[in-house]
Structure 1
Amino acid sequence: MYDIVRPFLPLILQGTLVTLTVGFCALFGAVIVGLLGLWGSSSESRLANRVVLYYTTIVRGIPDLVLMLLLYYGGQTFLNQIGDSTGLWGYIEISTFAAGVGTISFIFGAYMTETFRGAALSIPRGQIEAGLACGLSQHRLFTRIIWPQLLRYALPGIGNNWQVLMKTTALVSVIGLQDLVFNSFQAGRSTHHMFMFMGLTFIVYLLITIISGILIRVLENRYGLQVAATAE
């Protein structure tokens, strides 16, 4: 078994690195989108409220694979059609990496929006009112009172979203990005040992999940203690 896998280990490791890179970049993008969604959902603007509501409803109601294919192929075609009709730009080719990261960020931004919204509702309203009464600016109110507690309450949801997001990164293989799944599939097809390489992929994803779970629990405990100490 090892003799079969050994020649493809560099390819598997390279694919694992691509998968992790896509995951971390998509997580960062999803957090940014989620915070923007929180701002929109808590805004006094009815238009912003509706945009966030439609966004989260549509994204959570459409399969991830459909969105991946739609945004990669349809989005690229749409941009090029606009460029041809207006003459503002030439042919645009979206890289598979950018398409994968952008799509997953867009998808999980909807889940992060709901995660942050639920966390924000858990913050005692009296603390925010007290901060405003003390004359804190909006920036200091957010950084000193809202953000530490928001992150604390949102950490379990962020951890859960991260676990699901990592599994979703496997979809980038469909659009041709050479991630762990793509490279394992190529190795299995060339050696006629598909089960072996898919089993190896299973183990790698499982290890990522286990390590992520441990790190998330450490962050939850540490950040929870910090916030509790600050409150005291």
Structure 2
Amino acid sequence: MKIQQIVLFITFCFLVGCKNTSPHLKTIEAKQLAIDATIPNDPTIDSIVKPYQKRVNEELNRVLSYSSKDMHKNDGHYESTIGNFMADLLLERANAVLEKRENIKADVCLLNHGGIRSAIGKGPINMQHMYDVMPFENTLVAVELSGDKIQEMLAYLSKAKRAHPIAGMTITLDKDLKVVDAKIGGKKIDENKNYLVATSNFLYQGGDNMHFLANPVKYYELDYLIRNAMVDYLQKTDTIDVSLDNRFIQRQ
């Protein structure tokens, strides 16, 4: 009997000792390595990168057009030179696509002040400027909005107190930020009419809380990067001469 007990005990110990156990993570240790000028260049990597770096620099330095003045996004209260420039050109480029595909034209272009990430100085405009101004991969879209939605857009712009770029429309506020005059295409806005608004996919998706762009009557994806639209416009325009033209003002 004792021998049987000893055999059972040895067998139990063997089975327990052979049991598979899952590993468990106990600690994680990490060390931050700064990538700076103190790290020596690797000649092998340099030789691989050099031809591509040369080509990239050539492309970024490629001159597209010329600006007759500095363009900033903070040189006006409700409008800006670079904002007017971008809204005007994107309305033109959006319509080039819409006319070809749908035989229609957008009435308005609406962008957001924060989406413009850099200024453009007086002088040559190159590809580097395009990536500085628009580093995002945002695309152009068009949304057909009812008259009620256009009124929501006006209410948003009047309360935002920022130079959100617009083209194709004019807005006048009184001293209390109430819209006292608004026109699209030089005509009073008809609340019973739908209007086509060119904008970015970012804003259409609710960026900057522009929720009035959601659930439009109709939506058009133009498959056109905003940066590429800017490049296309500049390549066919010798000199850019933009100004503040009172398209969005407040009466005192």
- Is this a same-fold pair by TM over 0.5? no
Mark the structure with the bigger radius of gyration. 2
Higher helix share: 1
TM-score by length of 1: 0.25
